[in-house]
Amino acid sequence: MKIVFHERYREVYSADPAATQGRLDRAYEVLKPEYEFVEPDYASEQDIQLMHTDAHIDRIKQKKQLFELSLLAAGGAIKASELALAKEPAFGLIRPPGHHASKNSCWGFCWFNNIAVAIEKLKNENKIDNALIIDFDLHFGDGTNGMFKQDERVSYYHMGTLEDLEKTLEQQDSCDIIGISAGFDRHLDDWGGILSTQDYQEIGKMIKEFSLNSCPDKIFAVLEGGYNHDMLGPNIKALLQGLK
């Protein structure tokens, strides 16, 4: 498992909870000793245009730092997906998050839809025929769902419970790659107050087992929510242990 990270992800780019000073610091400290870190490139504007309108891109451009970091976050998701395609599972320790960003608008601390851009780029380059996106953030990824709602080649699933995830994977068709919108705000000590750290390991195990049988072990994940700074690192690590 490789961790996609850039030092610029530490920058405070807005006043929202996803951009809070030090949000990724503890996660970096927990993951750095155990995993190889790789640095992404910025996504190109052409990459972003695969999923967003020019009008939306122009609105984000009005804030230079935010635009640059949003390109870098999308680039982190692209890097993670490319590693996964080479059967090197990867986790994008990135920000800003993305699953609430739609083609022409955004909310929920998201600006560009990182995972959607990454998946669409692989499709556009004929590197995959189909994909499964699993989102276990506390909040429904309305942007991702809307972008792919009419696309039969991409399935979006937002997790309800662990039992629902297990049943869904049992019924899921094979795919060329799995993208995970990894939001950790369901944790007992985060906004949702629902899942334990061990539960994230179980999620990872379920997805790994499915991938071995139905999606030749090509998995990548990108960070979405998760606002308890102290628990973000341990929760990510638990997921990655499950994905081993």
Is residue 215 within 8 A of residue 175, CB to CB? The reply is: yes
Candidate list 56, 100, 158, 187, residue with the active-site label: 100
**Tokens 């993305």 belong to residue:** 98
Q: Where are the alpha helices (DSSP H) in 17-63?
A: 25-31, 45-49, 54-61
Angstrom distances, CA of residue 65 to CA of 14, 68, 69, 105: 9, 5, 6, 19
Active-site annotation holds for 56: no
**Nearest by Cα to 9 from 68, 95, 82, 124:** 95
Do the Cβ atoms of 166 and 207 come closer than 8 Å?
no
Q: Provide the β-strand partners of residue 220.
A: 90, 179
Q: Which active-site residues does the annotation give?
A: 100
